[in-house]
């Protein structure tokens, strides 16, 4: 008898939503949803520079999406190229000087999810009713919290909570964190800018993902909750679910 090869996990549902929030005039977040590649970038800089940086980041990732080779290496290479392009453009154009962006990317391949991460946008996994943060924030308050100098509650209200320590475009080279996880059926992954994670507690995010009938409804609810908390920043959510 010939045995049928077990099918690999794949993306079976996804949703994305970005909102300017309630206190900003423009949206400097960018996102990319091209399954099996998902990206969130949160730009920074004067005028429209942050928007330029985040757009350039996601455009580069789309152009250099991993193939069937070494996904982790290809993802790092793409993010490094995005960094070079942003840094060069900021150097060449006075109006864009100082621009940069966070970036968190996920690539699904052969039942595994590989992440590339710079900055304080986040990746989460929701599995069996529990939400887990998968990425480490490259921010001042996160560093202080990791060293026991701030509690989680203190970190959430710290006046310098928006100060990030690593971003694309700031220097000619950037260090990229990578993570790789084996997926399970019904795993839900969330990529988001800090306009969401800085305002909506992880426990509440988990409750939303547990209670909503679809990822589209969950994205709507998460944006709504961030805005109800004041919406001081742009808010971006990208969600995807694995199945067979």
Instruction: For residue range 154-212, list pLDDT tens digits in order.
Output: 666 655 666 688 999 999 999 999 999 999 999 999 999 999 999 999 999 999 999 99
3 state DSSP class of 114: strand
Give me 123's structure tokens.
């990746």
CA geometry: angle at 47 spanning 221 and 101, to 5°? Answer: 60
- Name which of 9, 7, 56, 13 is nearest 32 in CA terms: 56
Residues 222/205, Cβ–Cβ less than 8 Å = yes
Parse the chain into domains and list their residue ranges: 11-230+235-239
CA geometry: angle at 200 spanning 165 and 118, to 5°? Answer: 25
- Name which of 105, 107, 108 is nearest 10 in CA terms: 108
CATH superfamily of 11-230+235-239: PPM-type phosphatase domain (3.60.40.10)
Q: Which helix (H) or strand (E) holds 189?
A: strand 188-192
Give me 80's structure tokens.
């490094």
Per-residue pLDDT of the chain (244 residues; tens, 9 = 90+): 344 444 589 999 999 999 999 999 899 999 999 999 999 999 998 657 999 999 999 999 999 999 878 999 999 999 999 999 999 999 999 889 999 999 999 999 999 999 999 999 999 999 999 999 999 998 766 666 666 656 666 666 655 666 688 999 999 999 999 999 999 999 999 999 999 999 999 999 999 999 999 999 999 999 999 999 999 999 999 999 999 9
What is the reported pLDDT for 48?
75
Residues 6+ apart with CB under 8 A from 225: 199, 200, 204, 208
Q: pTM, whole model, 2 decimals? A: 0.91
Residues 6+ apart with CB under 8 A from 157: none
**How many residues appear in the chain?**
244
Phi-psi region of 208 (alpha: psi -120 to 50; beta: other; left: phi over 0): alpha
What is the reported pLDDT for 152?
67
């Amino acid at each position: 008898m010939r045995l049928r090869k077990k099918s690999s996990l794949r993306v079976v549902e996804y949703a994305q939503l970005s909102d300017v929030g309630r206190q900003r005039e423009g949206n400097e977040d960018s996102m990319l949803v091209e399954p099996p590649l998902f990206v969130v970038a949160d730009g920074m800089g004067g005028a429209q520079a942050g928007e330029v940086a985040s757009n350039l980041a996601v455009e580069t990732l789309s152009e250099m999406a991993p193939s069937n080779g070494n996904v982790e290496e290809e993802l790092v290479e793409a993010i490094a190229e995005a960094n070079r392009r942003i840094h060069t453009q900021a150097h060449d154009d006075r109006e864009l000087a100082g621009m940069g962006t966070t970036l968190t990317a996920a690539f699904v391949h052969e039942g595994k999810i590989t992440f590339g991460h710079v900055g304080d946008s986040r990746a989460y996994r929701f599995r069996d009713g529990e939400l887990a943060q998968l990425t480490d924030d490259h921010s001042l308050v996160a560093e202080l919290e990791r060293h026991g100098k701030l509690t989680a509650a203190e970190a959430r209200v710290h006046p310098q909570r928006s100060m990030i320590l690593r971003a694309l475009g700031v220097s000619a080279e950037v260090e990229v964190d990578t993570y790789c996880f084996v997926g399970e059926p019904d795993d839900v992954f969330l990529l988001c800018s800090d306009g969401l994670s800085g305002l909506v507690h992880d426990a509440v995010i988990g409750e939303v993902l547990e209670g909503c009938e679809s990822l589209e409804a969950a994205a709507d609810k998460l944006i709504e909750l961030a805005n109800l908390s004041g919406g001081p920043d742009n808010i971006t959510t990208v969600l995807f679910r694995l199945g067979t």
